[in-house]
Amino acid sequence: MDVSVTGCDDIALSRYCHPTLTTVHVPCDRIGQILCDVLLSKSAPRGAIPHTIEVEPDFIIRESTGPAPGRRIAHRTQSC
């Protein structure tokens, strides 16, 4: 039986294990920067309506995943 495996958080080891691990990379440094900018911003008036900020993760395809047996994939994307 063939199995595809996907990890989360893009830990450093995922690049070096065999086969290399397909993973989702969440840009924590970018999230932290946005959070600091929002918290330290003096431009938002008191009582302002909260808003949503979206940060898209990256789907990093490596060797641990592949198409299901008997199926073909037209193309792979690198972005979620």
User: Per-residue pLDDT for the chain (80 aa), expressed as one digit of tens each?
Assistant: 478 888 988 888 888 888 999 999 999 999 999 888 888 876 666 666 677 888 999 999 999 988 777 665 555 555 55
Q: Which residues are CB-contacts of 4 (< 8 A; sequence separation ≥ 6)? A: 22, 64, 65, 66
Determine, yes or no, domain membership for 79: no
Determine, yes or no, domain membership for 46: no
Determine, yes or no, domain membership for 3: yes
Domain that holds residue 29: 1-36+53-67
Concatenating the DSSP letter of every residue in 9-36 gives S--GGGGTSSSPPEEEE--HHHHHHHHH
Closest of 74, 50, 76 to residue 65, by C-alpha: 76
Determine, yes or no, domain membership for 21: yes
pLDDT for the residue numbered 62: 92
Determine, yes or no, domain membership for 30: yes
Determine, yes or no, domain membership for 17: yes
Determine, yes or no, domain membership for 18: yes
Domain count for the chain: 1
3-state class of 60 per DSSP? strand
Determine, yes or no, domain membership for 48: no
pLDDT for the residue numbered 38: 81
